[in-house]
Amino acid sequence: MNHLASDMHKETFVLNMGPQHPATHGVLRVKLVLDGEYIVEAEPVLGYIHRMHEKMGENRTWAQFMPNTGRLDYLSALSYNHGYVAAVERAAGIEVPERAEVIRVMTVELNRISSHLLWFGAYLLDLGGFTPLLYAFDDREQILDLLESVTGSRLTYCYFRFGGLYNDIDDDFIAGLKGFVERLRSRLPMYHTLVTKNIILMKRLKDIGVVSADMCRRYGATGPVARGSGIDYDVRKNEPYSVYPEFDFDVPVYHEGDSMARYMVRMDEIEQSLRIIEQAIAKLPEGPIMAEKAPKIIKPAKGDYYHAVEAARGSFGVRLVSDGTNTPYRLKLRSPSFCNLSLFAEASQGMLVADAVAFMGSLDLVIPEIDR
């Protein structure tokens, strides 16, 4: 009898979640070995949208790779622009004017908010709530309009240049930005009453998908995933770059490590980004937006350079190996979603499929950035 019972327990089957599945938000495929609705084993299978960005970098000039950086994480493209530009500037020793740096911070933070808003909506969609998605998109639309007016595009930005910016902001942008900050401040309490305090949401997120700080360290998870597990690490604070040290903002850290903690980290980050934007508006200096001495053709000295920035999903690092020519010898991109996804297999063991979907959503994966 016992033998039979244990045999029955082994009756598992394989379910391919993806590459086309509503919950994977892209062409991620997760091979699930299920026992009933419990996950015995989960194996993320990558590569369905691999575009060889790193190899493309080796075949193009330093400047020609710029548009590629906007196509890694299409939801917070400006952070990736920033990471690459900052790495090349470090390599070539280019000084960036103050005004350009402040505008960079302003637009990157704006982009971070839009990314978190989209995550918020899409995550609620994973959990079966449709309405918050449209509320979040309504607010996000304002950001896209603002960024479109300065960068010229709405999603895959290519706004920064080595030594500055492509385009200066004007008074209309500042006025629109002020209006937006005010608008989002008034909308956030509504998000919290409609969604955060909802009992069904709490039940689905509390104590689900617990990731320990140790697990985060082993897999190299960063960003809201690590900060939701009690690791107080934010590149903006720990390895300050650009003009971030001049701004006053907090890094939200929660210690529970569950989906709710990651949710709260992102919601708090929206507020912190609003604070940064307000300060940036207040201190925006006059001056040029391009370094006057920036060379037209970049040829960094021989060497190995690394620069990391805090993107919406975690630490994005660019490692450049230059041999002194006008193309990189090696261009390595360290993307946060890849590391954040890699802990999924271990953390999802024994989880229900429904909870695994809630857990995967809370990691905030962007598939083109994982595959690159």
Partner 1 sequence: MNPEVSRLLIYVVAAIAFVALNAAMLVWMERKVAGHMQGRIGPKEVGPFGLLQSFADGIKLMTKQLIVPEGADVPLFKVAPMLVMIPAVMCFVTIPFSETVAARNINVGLLLLFAIASVNILALLLGGWASNNKYAVISAARAVSQNVAYEIPMLITAITVVMFTRTMNLHDIVMQQAGGFWNWNILPFTKNPAMALVMPISFLIFFTCSMAETNRAPFDLGEAESELVAGFHTEYAGMGFGLFFLGEYANVFIGCSLAVILFLGGWQCPFGLAPGIHWFLIKVYSLIFVVMWARWTFPRTTIYGLLNLSWKILIPISLFNLVLTGALIKVF
List residues near partner 1 by CB under 8 A: 13, 15, 21-23, 37, 124-131, 134-135, 138, 194-195, 198, 200-201, 203-204, 352-355, 357
Q: Enumerate helices (H) and strands (E) in the chain, giving the number of each.
A: 16, 8
Shortest distance (Å) from residue 211 CB to partner 1: 19
Shortest distance (Å) from residue 347 CB to partner 1: 17
Nearer to partner 1, 241 or 263 (CB): 263
Cα 233 to Cα 222: distance, rounded to the nearest angstrom? 7
Nearer to partner 1, 61 or 196 (CB): 196
Return all residues near 41 (Cβ < 8 A) that are at least 6 apart.
32, 33, 345, 349
Residue 164 contacts residue 96 (beta carbons within 8 Å): yes
What CA–CA distances, in Å, run from 160 to 66, 80, 139, 296?
Answer: 8, 10, 24, 14
Nearer to partner 1, 181 or 353 (CB): 353
Nearer to partner 1, 276 or 356 (CB): 356
Shortest distance (Å) from residue 129 CB to partner 1: 4
Shortest distance (Å) from residue 262 CB to partner 1: 16
Shortest distance (Å) from residue 94 CB to partner 1: 45
Cα 166 to Cα 320: distance, rounded to the nearest angstrom? 23
Cα 224 to Cα 240: distance, rounded to the nearest angstrom? 18
Nearer to partner 1, 135 or 244 (CB): 135
> Which of 135, 82, 133 lies closest to 110, judged by CA?
82
